[in-house]
């Protein structure tokens, strides 16, 4: 099973108090023993056990699901979210992490726990800028992050590749191949990381040798184009597009309804009031940095598919001269996965997301933090941090294969930061059967999602659900 480490000072009842001699510091385990333990887990849950999509007792109707997923959201924006989910089965899937978690809850698992991305679908893999200016690729949405079975992330990823491939006209054979290559890549990188020194494994994103064996030849053009766009995707570019100086020289956002709208003075005051608590969640050096900026304006912006209906604000700050910085202040609600796991609800969902991202990503946004506004939880981050993406629905068969291999490798690297890669490598060893089982699962769950999408469309036609 995964090792759990306490963070921060020891608390009453913690392992540090119970084990006063700190003997865990003097215990060393042979890597072969850890690998063998992982391999032994196959005696309880064989790879073939991951193939099947089991019927879920008490599965909600689409009307019930939409009502349940609307909790905590702005009511008038819920129909907008539903309308976005109607666009395609893949769009529906992007907004249905909680529904899939319910379906996964009774599936067999190996018992190895990772810090889950939580919503590891193909469209949540993107590019962003590191502090040194380099553009890197990684999973980049952690609204649902929570400790859970590593299989849940992998199953969500491979199902999304089938749905994206079908949307892009990729054949069934091509989708099967992309899934098999994704799982093989995941297993391969887990095995590589299991043999790395711990520090090298931890910083694996910067170690190109980890991903050197991942064939992305056919995807190089798309990566190149997306990287070039990402380099230009900055606060300065966003400010040039969405802000203007008024007649008094005041720097403000230009409303672009319904996507970008003005907020009331009271709302602006409350959002700005949350910045002090946010700054306190940053390292001391960055606390000093962020306090050099001054707020010019606050606006409301609709973002994403699954996030539509959450409160999402943009803050325009002015730095040195005419230097703009745009921060995103995004509402954080409980993870849709939590009801189906044994973990307790988070005390602060913004903190849950930030700490999860910091654990899973090798490089997080340096200005990522959290705050509370009017009793609601939020994360705060740079709105444009040289971000970019590749649309998985636009990929042909060869590119989908490459994209899957890259995604599988990056998911393995992400999981290896919160679990013992040697343990997982033992479980995944001789894993052709795991590849085949995940193919079977992905195809079956994609069909379930397509039926869910059709049921949602039918419920909208009957007037049971408002889709805007």
Residue 2 resides in a domain: no
Write the pLDDT tens digit of every residue in 19-73.
556 777 889 999 999 999 999 999 999 999 999 998 788 899 999 999 999 999 9
Kindly state whether residue 30 falls inside one of the protein's structural domains.
yes
268 with 377, same domain?
yes
154-188 pLDDT, tens per residue? 999 999 999 999 999 999 999 999 999 999 999 99
Q: Is residue 467 part of a domain?
A: no
Q: Which domain holds residue 297?
A: 234-382
Do 129 and 68 share a structural domain? yes
Domain closes at, from 338, 354, 382: 382
Mean pLDDT of 261-276: 98
* DSSP-assigned letter for residue 160: H
| Token pair in block for residue 231 | 């380099």
Residue 310, CA distances (Å) to 210, 316, 413 in order: 37, 20, 30
Report how far residue 180's alpha carbon sits from residue 187's, in angstroms, rounded to the nearest whole number: 11
Q: Is 24 exposed, middle or buried (0-12, 13-18, 19+ CB in 10 A)?
A: exposed
pLDDT at position 143 over 90: yes
Report if residue 222 sits inside a domain.
Answer: no
User: For residue 11, what pLDDT is reported?
Assistant: 37
Q: Specify whether 72 is located in the same domain as 171.
A: yes
What does the pLDDT read at residue 213? Answer: 62
Is residue 227 situated within a structural domain?
A: no
> Which residue, 357, 382, 407, sits at the end of a domain?
382
- The answer on 133 and 269 residing in a single domain is no
Do 162 and 276 reside in the same domain of the chain? no
- The pLDDT tens digits for 372-397 are 999 999 999 999 777 778 899 999 99
Q: Please tell me whether residues 143 and 265 are part of one structural domain.
A: no
Q: Are 33 and 426 in contact (CB under 8 A)?
A: no
Mean model confidence pLDDT for the chain: 90
Residues 6+ apart with CB under 8 A from 295: 272, 275, 315, 316, 317
331 and 245 share a domain? yes
Euclidean distance between CA atoms 329 and 339, whole angstroms:
25
My answer on whether 192 and 243 are in the same domain is: no
> How far apart (Å, rounded) are the C-alpha atoms in residues 278 and 329?
10
Distance in angstroms (rounded) separating the CA atoms of residues 423 and 444: 28
Residues 276 and 352 in one domain: yes
The share of the chain scoring above pLDDT 90, in percent, equals: 73
The DSSP secondary-structure symbol of 243 reads: E
Q: Is residue 243 part of a domain?
A: yes
The tally of domains found in the chain comes to 2
Question: Dihedrals φ, ψ of 317, to 5°?
Answer: -115, 150
Question: For every residue of 252-266, which 3-state class applies, written as one string?
Answer: EECCECCCEEECCHH
Predicted confidence at residue 342, as pLDDT, reads 87
Spatial distance between the Cα atoms of 371 and 381, rounded to a whole number of angstroms: 11
Euclidean distance between the first and final Cα of the chain, in Å? 46
With beta carbons less than 8 A apart as the criterion, state whether 346 and 352 touch: yes
- Flag whether 229 is in a domain: no
Does 5 fall in a domain?
A: no
Least confident of 120-134, 211-225, 297-311: 211-225
* Alpha helices (runs of H) in 132-255, residue ranges in sequence order: 150-167, 172-194, 198-202, 208-211, 220-232, 235-242
How far from 337 is each of 113, 145, 234, 441, CA to CA, in Å?
A: 14, 8, 32, 19
Each residue of 237-258: pLDDT tens digit? Answer: 888 899 999 888 899 999 999 9
In sequence order, which residues have a C-beta less than 8 Å from that of residue 288 and are 6 or more positions away? none
| 354 and 412 fall within a common domain | no
Flag the least confident range among 117-126, 215-224, 264-273, 391-400.
Answer: 215-224
């Amino acid at each position: 099973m995964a090792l759990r480490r306490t963070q921060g000072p020891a608390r009453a009842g913690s392992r540090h108090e119970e084990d006063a001699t700190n003997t865990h510091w003097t215990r060393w385990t042979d890597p072969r023993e850890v690998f063998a333990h992982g391999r032994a887990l196959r005696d309880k849950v064989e790879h073939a056990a991951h193939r099947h999509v089991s019927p879920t007792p008490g599965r909600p109707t689409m009307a019930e699901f939409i009502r349940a997923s609307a909790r905590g959201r702005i009511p008038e924006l819920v129909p907008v979210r539903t309308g976005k989910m109607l666009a395609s089965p893949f769009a529906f899937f992007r907004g249905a992490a909680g529904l899939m978690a319910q379906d996964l809850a009774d599936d067999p698992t190996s018992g190895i726990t990772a810090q889950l991305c939580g919503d590891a679908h193909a469209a949540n893999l993107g590019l962003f800028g590191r502090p040194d200016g380099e553009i890197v690729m990684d999973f980049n949405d952690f609204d649902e992050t929570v400790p859970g079975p590593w299989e849940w992330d992998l199953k969500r990823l491979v199902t999304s590749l089938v749905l994206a491939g079908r949307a892009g006209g990729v054949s069934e054979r091509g989708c099967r191949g992309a899934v098999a290559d994704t799982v093989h890549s995941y297993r391969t990188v887990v095995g590589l990381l299991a043999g790395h020194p711990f520090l090298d494994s931890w910083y694996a994103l910067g170690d190109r040798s980890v991903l050197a064996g991942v064939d992305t030849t056919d995807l190089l053009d798309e990566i190149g184009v997306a990287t070039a766009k990402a380099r230009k995707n900055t606060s300065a570019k966003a400010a040039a597009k969405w802000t203007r100086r008024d007649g008094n020289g005041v720097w403000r956002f230009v409303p672009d309804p319904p996507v970008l709208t003005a907020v009331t003075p009271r709302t602006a005051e409350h959002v700005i009031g949350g910045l002090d608590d946010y700054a306190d969640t940053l390292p001391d050096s960055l606390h000093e940095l962020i306090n050099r900026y001054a707020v010019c304006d606050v606006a409301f912006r609709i973002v994403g598919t699954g996030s539509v209906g959450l409160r999402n604000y943009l803050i325009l700050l002015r730095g040195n001269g005419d230097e703009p910085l745009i921060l995103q202040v995004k509402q954080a609600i409980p993870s849709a996965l939590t009801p189906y796991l044994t973990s307790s609800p988070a005390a602060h969902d913004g903190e849950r997301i930030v700490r999860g991202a910091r654990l899973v990503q090798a490089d997080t946004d340096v200005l990522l933090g959290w705050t509370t506004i009017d009793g609601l939880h939020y994360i705060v981050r740079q709105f444009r941090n040289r971000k970019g993406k590749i649309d998985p629905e636009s990929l042909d068969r060869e590119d989908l294969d490459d994209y899957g291999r890259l995604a599988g490798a990056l998911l393995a690297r992400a999981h290896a930061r919160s679990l013992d890669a040697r343990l997982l490598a033992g479980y995944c060893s001789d894993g052709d059967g795991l590849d085949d089982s995940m193919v079977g699962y992905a195809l079956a769950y994609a069909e379930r999602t397509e039926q869910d999408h059709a049921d949602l469309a039918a419920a909208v036609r009957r007037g049971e659900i408002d889709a805007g």
